[in-house]
Structure 1
């Protein structure tokens, strides 16, 4: 008896079907087991990210790669995360760090015993590389030679809690990422100060356009910032500090030099200082000069500035520096989230009149959006109650929402009255923030 041949779906149709299943992992796993021609598209959605650490150790992963039946290259992995310094006991900490530092070397120098494939063959589609260590150890010559081929497709590098010995060591690694476009440094530093780098990094490449600096403590971060300076192609710079005391003159000068090196390429800048409670009183930003080096006199094409600083005393001196620019106006968006003091900063004085006057300067003539946040903070105990059919007290939500909406309207009108010139231009945009004191319930709307 001859069986009737079953019609086969064209592979392009199969791929479209699998694309529709991108959020359904059980179905994707089933598809990956049907036949080899279905593996690539199924694995693409199943394994976009591979995360390696001590518990999910590199040796096990490499053993999987070494299998003659391995389908990892078909997964088209786009994100690789390597965490090599997890919590360890103090008495074994130094030894463990050395072992963890060798993980990256082990990964780079691996070769399949069956066909000689390298780790570069496993990650031919890699776009994002994330590394989280405490201390960078020099790699072997074999590992260094593999850096270029292994990560030649990486466009975004994220590094957290890494301490390099020298600027050359730092830039030697960056220069291996030939397609790098975005660099995120979180707690990254250079140990030895004052040693000029002799290595050319991708910070000079025309591809490189975005730098995000987070939690850079003043002891080692200044050398890390100077290592990536100059950066002539820099378009977007974002800086995040822990508190005001970290923003010393050396830190400010390093960031300022990076801004200067970007020149006309720079389009956007953001500064966030995560200061709370007593930390915001350690530095008087109205008189302190640590921020004076952060200006844009050499950046004629700056389009957007965000200053998320929990102390508005810095704002008038900052705006005054901007007005000294001799370039044609280019700034289109200015975002000052904490312009209006919240509940904790009600005693803070904000010179709204001076700010309103400064924003009429010709430097701000291209400004189409000035954004800030207005808060309404209320106590849950003030909420109106009424009895329901079962004689229980319940919240009268309609009355409550109406009340807080009216309070918000009143505060926004009050803010507009304090900056009438800006309000008359129609560019003042207020984000509304509602929060309950007893437990946070927040709504954020743009007006």
Structure 2
């Protein structure tokens, strides 16, 4: 809160400049009320105290307190009771973000065999009035078995959450991929979709594929996939003509199969000129790559056919795929190259033919490239943080051994790509990692 705003609040509260009147109290304007509450936004006890000032403050406090609501299996019921009262006004909170999870937050909670069968999400759909969550823009659903919902509840999801622009599904198990497709299509305003560890109970051979294709929401522009191993999830997303951003994350190299790579390629091509941003992560270290040929898989994702691709982000420690991957782009012969950012997290650590890489990045496809980003790793220890408060050390002291070593490491990386450096496009970032043997 700015100083002049504090003065205004004090003047209204204490009626400064006027003779005190025990019978007249100045009502604080809503604008100043909001400033006070927003100043206390991170302190729930303070917000609760504010809500007791007077009835006029209750509405504003609820708006701040319930902007985000997290419901777990063992915490959902008390929240449901808030709006089952005949005097409930919880709808006035205008909740913007709702996270519903079937797992518990109670320590040592018993999850054996029942994790997906909880009724927290079912309660959200059946126990609250339609206006309670009508302002929700981000909906997250975690550890839910779709069979816990009735047909009527499933059909009503989109209507109850008609303003949702971001949907996050994590460890949701559907009977079939049709249920997933119907769910996604039911959010008319959806723009961002995140899917993690989606599973189906019915195997592919058992499923009837005669159902009609469900069109994706017209404004869906971002799709993020994490641990998606079933191609049927991808089939539910193709085509996606509005797609601009695609991010994919796998833990192990073997999870990225040729079949999935082909589906990724089809998904991106279905967006044609709209697609701009491709990101791919494999979490495992390079030494855990047990013979997986990444280059063969990336051949199925033909980024050279995407005319307006502006950003590529690769977080993969394996070194063998990179030069062939970039080489295919260089040979594409695109007449209007658009690529602006190449973000390769492990680039500085790769054992590469640096001269060849430097030459590839001078091809016409990379002529409008503005930045080649990477992280330069340097370790530091207790000797490099002398004088810092004990705790989680983020970086060493300026002038310390590690700080000087970082400068040398960055200089060494830059020298490997002289042509790129001459263009001023190299963007090495400091990547400090704390490690001290004396603490182990």
TM-score band, normalised by shorter chain = 0.7 to 0.9
Match of 1:426 among 421, 424, 427: 424
Q: Point out the more displaced range, 78-87 or 125-134.
A: 78-87
Q: Which residue of 1 aligns with 2:344?
A: 336
Aligned pairs (5 A) from 1:264-303: 264-276=273-285, 278-285=287-294, 288-303=295-310
Q: Which residue of 2 aligns with 1:168?
A: 178
CA contact (8 A) 1:172 1:199 kept: no
Q: Which residue of 2 aligns with 1:392?
A: none
* Count of matched residue pairs: 402
Match of 1:8 among 22, 27, 32: 27
Deviations 1:368-415 (A, max 9, x none): 1011122223576xx5999xxxxxxxxxx97x9344344333333332
Report whether the alignment pairs 1:104 with 2:121. Answer: yes
Match of 1:353 among 352, 355, 359: 355
Structure 1 SS opposite 2:87:
coil
Structure 2 SS opposite 1:231:
coil
Q: Which residue of 1 aligns with 2:88?
A: 70
Tell me the CA shift for residue 24 of structure 1.
Answer: 3.1
Alpha-carbon RMSD: 2.9
Tell me the CA shift for residue 440 of structure 1.
Answer: 12
Q: Which residue of 2 aligns with 1:375?
A: 377
Q: Which residue of 1 aligns with 2:390?
A: none
Structure 2 SS opposite 1:297:
helix
Deviations 1:129-188 (A, max 9, x none): 111115321632331342232101111111111122222110111122111111111111
**Unpaired runs of at least 5, structure 1:** 111-117, 342-347, 387-396, 442-447
Q: 1:104 to 1:374 in 2, by over 3 A?
A: closer
TM (norm. structure 1) is 0.82
Give me the whole-angstrom Cα distance separating, in 1, the residues matched to 2:236 and 2:384. 59
Match of 1:22 among 31, 41, 51: 41
Aligned pairs (5 A) from 1:176-255: 176-191=186-201, 192-193=203-204, 195=209, 198-203=212-217, 205=218, 207-216=219-228, 218=229, 220=230, 222-255=231-264
Q: Which residue of 1 aligns with 2:70?
A: 51
CA contact (8 A) 2:314 2:345 kept: yes
Give me the whole-angstrom Cα distance separating, in 2, the residues matched to 1:439 and 1:130. 41
Q: Which residue of 2 aligns with 1:154?
A: 164
CA contact (8 A) 1:119 1:150 kept: no
Aligned pairs (5 A) from 1:21-40: 21-40=40-59
Give me the whole-angstrom Cα distance separating, in 2, the residues matched to 1:337 and 1:385. 26
Give me the whole-angstrom Cα distance separating, in 2, the residues matched to 1:224 and 1:384. 48
TM (norm. structure 2) is 0.83
Structure 2 SS opposite 1:154:
coil
**Unpaired runs of at least 5, structure 2:** 1-20, 387-395
Structure 1 SS opposite 2:145:
coil
Tell me the CA shift for residue 430 of structure 1.
Answer: 0.8
CA contact (8 A) 1:40 1:76 kept: no
Give me the whole-angstrom Cα distance separating, in 2, the residues matched to 1:140 and 1:237. 32
Q: Which residue of 2 aligns with 1:309?
A: 316
Q: 1:98 to 1:157 in 2, by over 3 A?
A: closer
Tell me the CA shift for residue 68 of structure 1.
Answer: 1.5
Q: 1:122 to 1:173 in 2, by over 3 A?
A: same
Q: 1:61 to 1:415 in 2, by over 3 A?
A: closer
CA contact (8 A) 1:82 1:132 kept: yes
CA contact (8 A) 1:369 1:427 kept: yes
Give me the whole-angstrom Cα distance separating, in 2, the residues matched to 1:384 and 1:51. 41
Give me the whole-angstrom Cα distance separating, in 2, the residues matched to 1:432 and 1:197. 52
Q: 1:417 to 1:164 in 2, by over 3 A?
A: same
Structure 2 SS opposite 1:137:
helix
Deviations 1:29-70 (A, max 9, x none): 122223332222111111222222221134x33232110222
